[in-house]
Structure 1
């Protein structure tokens, strides 16, 4: 895993957005691209040595498959994914070039929507600047 695959400003903005929206419910924040990832935040009470390689790879592939599968859906455009696990929840907010995985304790669906919109806005702004 290569470090510093995104600017310090974007990393800080992503973590600040996630922390502000989730408070103490935030578990972790990971930024990823098709080829790489960087964990930006991990709550102190969680295992510090988790192997994220397969996890992030699956989420990138899952984004592509989900977007393709639902492109003609009457539900409208795919926006983000929330997954429920026995110990928490995962939010995946992704653009064509990069994405963010946020894990949390329980939040409302409205909170996940607000976080996803804010993260997607940050990612789009970064893409526009490149």
Structure 2
């Protein structure tokens, strides 16, 4: 897994960050775009250390590419997104085809997670 600095054009990266800031507000911790073999952290809140094992996170989050087919035909409907809860925050992952984005936040309500996933899904499909 390779960490990139310009995986997306700057204007696209800014769109992802702006959208996340609009939905999540000051609880936004980070925004990371990824493919099967590359990733780019587009935003990291200034009070956080840039020492997270981003590559390790992305390796686990690429499982989202298989989730769409793994849950196909489920009585629950189509797979849409994943939310992971941690001691100090939440991670929301959305994938589309061969790319995805995950967002970390301090707090997250069910309503905001739905709004965030919907907005990110639209951006990924553009």
Normalising by the smaller structure, the TM-score range is over 0.9
TM-score scaled by structure 2? 0.93
Q: 1:65 deviation in Å?
A: 3.6
Question: How many Å separate the matches in 1 of 2:111 and 2:51?
Answer: 31
Question: How many Å separate the matches in 1 of 2:125 and 2:19?
Answer: 15
Runs of 4 or more off by more than 4 Å in structure 1?
none
Q: How many residue pairs were aligned?
A: 124
Question: How many Å separate the matches in 2 of 1:75 and 1:84?
Answer: 21
TM-score scaled by structure 1? 0.90
Residue-by-residue CA offset, 1:34-83 (whole Å, 9 max, x unaligned): 110000111122121222111101100x2134223211211100000000
Larger proportion of helix: 1
Q: CA RMSD in A?
A: 1.1
Question: How many Å separate the matches in 2 of 1:31 and 1:89?
Answer: 16
Structure 2 gaps of 5+ residues are none
Matching residue of 1:128: none
Matched, 1:56 2:58: yes
Question: How many Å separate the matches in 1 of 2:13 and 2:65?
Answer: 23
Matching residue of 1:112: 113
Matched, 1:8 2:14: no
Matched, 1:28 2:60: no
SS in 2 for 1:46: coil
Structure 1 gaps of 5+ residues are 126-130
